[in-house]
A = this chain, B = another copy of it.
Amino acid sequence: MFRTHTCGELRLTNTGKNVTLSGWVQRIRDKGTLLWIDLRDRYGITQLFLEEGKTPPEFIELARSFGREFVISATGVVAERESKNPNIPTGEIEVRITGLKLLNASKLPPFTIEDKSDGGDELRMKYRYLDLRRNPLKNNLELRHRIALETRNYLDSQGFYEIETPYLIKSTPEGARDFVVPSRMNPGEFYALPQSPQTFKQILMVAGYDRYFQIVRCFRDEDLRADRQPEFTQIDCEMAFVDQEDVLNTFEGLARFLFSKVKGVDVGPFERMDYATAMKLYGSDKPDLRFGMPFVELNDLTKDKGFSVFDEAELVVGINVAGCSEYTRKQLDALTDFVKKPQIGAKGLVYVKYNTDGSLKSSVDKFFTEEDLKSWAVRLDSRPGDLLLILSGKTDATRKQLGELRLEMGNQLGMRDPQVFKPLWVTDFPLLEWSEEAQRFFAMHHPFTSPKPEDVHMLDSDPGKARANAYDMVINGVEVGGGSIRIHNRELQKRMFTLLGFTDEEALNQFGFLLNAFEYGAPPHGGIALGFDRLTALIAGFDSIRDFIAFPKNNSGRDVMIDSPSVIAQHQLDELSLKVTVEKK
Contacts and interface: CB of A to CB of B under 8 A. Distances in A.
A156 B149 CA distance: 8
Interface stretch (A309-317, A337-345, A360-368, A548-556): A548-556
A520 B171 contact: no
Contacts of A439: none
A336 interface: no
A355 to B, nearest CB: 54
A164 B233 contact: yes
Interface in A410-446: none
A576 B149 contact: no
A104 B581 contact: no
A221 interface: yes
Given A70-B521, A181-B179, A167 B217 contact: yes
Contact of A567 (B188, B219, B568): B188
A507 interface: no
A129 B185 contact: no
Interface in A168-195: 168-171, 173, 177-193
Give the interface centre of A41, A73, A148, A189 by most chain B CB atoms within 10 Å.
A189
Interface stretch (A30-38, A138-146, A294-302, A461-469): A138-146
A580 interface: yes
Interface size class, chain A: 35 or more
A2 interface: yes
B231 A569 contact: no
A580 B577 contact: yes
A520 B562 contact: no
Give the interface centre of A138, A181, A517 by most chain B CB atoms within 10 Å.
A181
A128 interface: yes
B522 A71 contact: yes
Given A129-B203, A203-B128, A231 B168 contact: yes
Contact of A168 (B153, B563, B564, B582): B564
B207 A566 contact: no
A99 interface: no
A176 B173 CA distance: 31
A241 interface: yes
Interface in A43-101: 43, 69-71, 73
Nearest to A245: B1
Given A153-B153, A170-B562, A582-B188, A180 B557 contact: no
A513 to B, nearest CB: 5
A68 to B, nearest CB: 9
A280 interface: no
Contact of A513 (B517, B550, B561): B561
A137 to B, nearest CB: 9
Given A128-B207, A168-B559, A576-B180, A104 B241 contact: no
A181 B181 contact: yes
Contacts of A163: 141, 144-145, 550
A203 to B, nearest CB: 5
Contact of A149 (B153, B191, B575): B153
Interface of A: 1-3, 6, 22, 24, 40-43, 69-71, 73, 103-107, 109, 127-130, 132-133, 138, 141-142, 144-145, 148-149, 152-153, 156, 161-171, 173, 177-193, 199-200, 203-204, 206-211, 217, 219, 221, 223-224, 230-231, 233, 241-243, 488-489, 512-513, 517-524, 549-551, 553, 556-559, 561-569, 572, 575-584
6 contacts: A3-B241, A106-B520, A166-B559, A170-B565, A177-B575, A187-B582
The 7 closest A-B pairs by CB, nearest first: A106-B521, A132-B207, A170-B564, A189-B565, A2-B241, A69-B521, A183-B565
